[in-house]
Every structure is written in structure tokens, then in C-alpha cells.
Amino acid sequence: MDSSTNDVIRDCPPFFKVYKDGRVERYFVTQPVPAGLDRTAGVQTKDVVISPAVKARIFMPQSTTPGQKLPLLVHYHGGGFSIGSAFDTVTYKVVAPLVKQANIVVVSIDYRVAPEHPLPIAHDDSWVGLQWVASHANGQGPEPWLNDNADPSRIFLAGESAGANIAHFVAVLAGATKLVGLKIRGMLLVHPYFGTGEPNDNELDKYVCPTSTEFDNDPIVNPAADPKLKEMACERVIVLVAEEDGFRNRREAYYETLTKSGWRGKVEFFETKGEGHCFHVVIDNHNTEVLKNKMVDFINKDI
């Protein structure tokens, strides 16, 4: 056996390493949560197939009122575009409390991840997911849970880290293509990832998105370079950042970019002091509760 096949040709901690023989090993493997009724969390979940490549998990409150349509939040998970899923413990920890406390329906889109599926596949899959959600606008879509319980006139987009990047991307595309059927009331971007801003410090970006050669001019990591930004189909945005996040300056730059872009919506900025990037997915403390309540308040403000 050729021992060189065990040579690591690309190491991208804390996400993955790639071996010479093509194997991908992830530093962190998330654990799945079975779909069904969770009486403790007060939510019920169901998994659906959107396309051969794209799946999703629907979250609903444990009990609903017949005939009542609830706001619908479309969620995109984080993980450096390379780890995580809509079906794992991290997504459950983030989404389930919002479903119960805000009394909403959530569709978490399970997009394909890099490096096996390099960008922009994740963004393309996520757009397919939003179009599938829009297919329920007339109450005749393929999924009864959405037809019966989701209000297409009260749509929110959300994501954390890479997922927030994707949420922004699909919101811009929804506006640029004039997506029919959904009224996107708000977008919640939790510690959004828009690159490092350093040309020599983009190894992960370069590897997961090999088609992009000039990252500062790529709208995926630099919204300021997107001529379609002002067309973003969203009325309100909240940018949530963490004081100790190494890329906090990029989140703040995004906030400033939106305010100057010509986009006609309103943008808010909220900073959690003393915490790092996506702290809320790994710890439960007072700041985690404050962040969750801020998100719930943002949603409820529009209901």
C-alpha cells in the first residue's frame, strides 16, 4: 500500500483536512437528531426532500390552531460551508427555541457542503430551497405542513456564520429575480461570515470556492462588490455580532455597506459583549438567552 495516500494535502482547521487519496476528514462531526415530536422542547419536526440534492427539516410548534397561519423562517446552518446540517444537534439547539418562543414555522435547508461540493453549490442549493418554499405561496405546494400552517406574507430568513452569508445571498437573488409568492419581512444574520478581508489569509475561502480568484471582488464574500445589493428583497435586517469574534470588523463593514447601498430597508446592529464567534451554539449562559430573546423580539416586532 502506498503510504503517501495518508499524506495531508490541505489542512483547514477547525473544519477539515484532505488526504492525497481524496479522502476528507472533518475535525468536528455533528450528531443527527431524529425527526418527530419533542414534548420537552415543545416542537415537532419533519424531514422533506426538495430535490435529489437538497433536503430540509421543518420545525413547527407542538400544537397549532387550525386555520391559523404562522410566520415562516427559512434557516441556513453555519459551519464554514463545510460542516453541519439541517438535521444535527447544533441546528436543533439554535432553531427549536425560536419555534416555541416566537410561535413560528421554520424550514432549515440542508445544502451540500465543501470541499466535496465547492462553492457556489451551497448557495445554489439554498436558492433551490427558497424557491421550493415559494411554491407553497398559493397553498398548493408539495408539503401540507407549509400549505396549512405557514404564512407566505410573513417570511424571515436567518443563518449563523456561513449560513448568514447564504441567507444574504438568497435575499439579494430573490430581489434581483423578483421571486414571486413570498414577502420577506426580515433577515436575522448571526455573526455573518463575509471572508477575512485579508488577501493572504483566505486559504479556506480559496479551497472551498476554487472558481473565485479575486475575493475582494466576489459578492459571495464581499457584498459591497455586488451591483444587485440594493435590490435585496427584505424589509429589515438585524446584524448580530460578538465582541470577541476575530472577524467582527467584517460584520460591522456589512452593516455599513447596507446603510450606504441604496437598499430601502432598515438595518439594526446588536453586539454581544465578551463573547466569541457563534458562542450560542456551544454554551448556554445569560448572553445566549439575551441573543435568543433579541431574535424573537425582532421577529415579533413584525407580527
Q: Which residues are catalytic?
A: 161, 245, 277
Using DSSP bridges, classify how beta strands 266-272 and 236-242 pair: parallel, antiparallel or unpaired: parallel
Contact 215, 221 (CB under 8 A): yes
Other C-beta atoms lying within 10 Å of the C-beta of residue 270:
14
- Tell me the C-alpha distance between 182 and 129, whole Å: 13
Specify the DSSP element, H or E, that contains 271.
strand 266-272
- Tell me the C-alpha distance between 166 and 236, whole Å: 16
Contact 274, 287 (CB under 8 A): yes
Angle at the Cα of 290 from the Cα atoms of 284 and 294, rounded to 5 degrees: 130
Instruction: Give the strand order in the sheet containing 37-38.
Output: 37-38, 43-49, 55-61, 105-110, 70-76, 150-160, 184-190, 236-242, 266-272
Give the residue among 278, 275, 189 at the shortest CA–CA distance from 232. Answer: 189
Other C-beta atoms lying within 10 Å of the C-beta of residue 185:
22
Contact 251, 191 (CB under 8 A): yes
Burial group, residue 106, by CB count within 10 angstroms (0-12, 13-18, 19+): buried
Helix (H, G, I), strand (E, B) or coil at 87: coil
